[in-house]
Structure 1
Amino acid sequence: MDSVGEVTQLVLRERQSRDRGWYTRMAACYSADSHIRMSWFTGSGAEFTARTREMAGRGDIAVHRLGPPTVHVVGDRALAELPLIIEWRIEVNGVEADLASSCRSQYRTRRDPDGVWRIVAITSIYEKDTLTPVLPGTTLHLDTAELAHYRPSYRFLSWFLNRQGYPLDGDDLGDDQPERVAEQYRSEFAWLHQTPTDPAA
């Protein structure tokens, strides 16, 4: 398998392991110096695995519908972008609902000295989300004034996670802030093209 194939399988395996509760496999996807930034979490890959296990233990379980990733490889570094939809089945004031959050996750990956590709960083960029009743004809009753405080790129996701006790600071990357997103892309490709001897590597 070539490098593009190995990196593709790495990022897909990381998401599959999280959804299936295969935490040993999930932890093995990250480098020791990894940094993960998502809506509800910022920290190392090891910490992310532990917090994911705790989240599942509370019954807060999402699944990820994945699109094909794009992969750029330069030497022992690769940058992958994985489009996905985070899906939650939740209850809103007694009414069953589906929350779907569309985003794309950027994966910095590195081939370590042992020849294994591992994830160095994940950063998510949020696009939009929807909240719909499961049963046709039922109505969701939400406080529109409360929802107005949240950004449109991840409004319902923010509302739900805050309600579940995972406070969000509202500073995540989203398509409602295109300048920050453009800077993120510049930063990712700058990292990709650094030489292996760069002290920031």
Structure 2
Amino acid sequence: MPADDVTQMVLRERQSRDRGRYTEMAACFADDSMAQMNWCTGTGAEYARQTRAMAGRGDYAVQRLGPPAVRIDGDRAPVEPPLIIEWRNGVHGTKADPASACRSRCRARRGTDGRWRIARITSIYEKDTLVPVLPGARLTVDRDEPARHRPSYRFLAWYLNREGRTVGDHHLGDDRPEAVAERYRAEHAWLRQDPAPAASATL
């Protein structure tokens, strides 16, 4: 079934990222693809390369995936798996588990070879948390630092900025519902192969 093919391709890309199979991850993207995360913007191949480099620095994260929603129209299919990004780090000597809940927005496209690949991918951030690994442990965090960031990806941005990667406040998140609604309208237009409004042309 086409929906099964699309689902497995998207899940394969996510699993390949977590398991360090970066060549397989890159192969899930079309040559003219675009990936936009809050720490990386580029082609799918560049996204895989930067993910490899990040893992090489010891910066690992895993994704807990939920069942993706798939809608197919001809050779196009928007796919949306819900997920939680989890990783472990130290906060002033105390081990902590940040977790970021979001949903991935993928545009899958079937090529002339009959294979489905990701044409675009981004995330819509929902909320995140930061808890100590050991119950009762005290996290020493300057409240003003994470409070500078938007609530949909506050601790994710705080962590990445601590690691030297600048995260802007323009990314899609449920705390800005108008921008999210505009994204869904653009996805619907793309599925119908209608010309998208200029404001919706980017991720």
TM-score by length of 2: 0.94
Task: Give % identity.
Answer: 63
Find the counterpart in structure 2 of residue 122 from structure 1: 121
Q: 3-state DSSP class of the match of 1:171?
A: coil
What displacement does 1:142 show? 0.6
Aligned pairs for 1:1-201 within 5 A: 2-194=1-193
Q: 3-state DSSP class of the match of 1:19?
A: helix
Write 1 or 2 for the structure with the bigger share of strand: 1
What displacement does 1:40 show? 0.6
Q: 3-state DSSP class of the match of 1:152?
A: coil
Distance 1:98 1:13 in 2: 25
Instruction: Report how many residues are paired.
Output: 195
Distance 2:93 2:54 in 1: 22
Distance 1:166 1:9 in 2: 31
Post-superposition CA distance 1:6-61 (Å, at most 9, x none):
01001100000000000111011000000001111111001001100000000011
What displacement does 1:157 show? 0.2
- Give, as a single letter, the amino acid of the residue that structure 1 aligns with 2:3: V
- Give, as a single letter, the amino acid of the residue that structure 1 aligns with 2:14: R
Distance 1:53 1:63 in 2: 13
- Give, as a single letter, the amino acid of the residue that structure 1 aligns with 2:95: E
Q: Which runs of 5+ in 1 are unaligned?
A: none
What displacement does 1:165 show? 1.6
Distance 2:37 2:187 in 1: 16
Q: 3-state DSSP class of the match of 1:142?
A: coil
Q: Which runs of 5+ in 2 are unaligned?
A: 195-200
- Give, as a single letter, the amino acid of the residue that structure 2 aligns with 1:146: E
Q: Which runs of 4+ in 1 moved over 3 A?
A: none
Distance 1:89 1:186 in 2: 36
What displacement does 1:169 show? 1.2
With 93-102 and 186-195 compared, the bigger mean Cα shift is at 186-195
Distance 1:108 1:29 in 2: 12
What displacement does 1:143 show? 0.7
Distance 1:13 1:106 in 2: 15
- Give, as a single letter, the amino acid of the residue that structure 1 aligns with 2:148: H
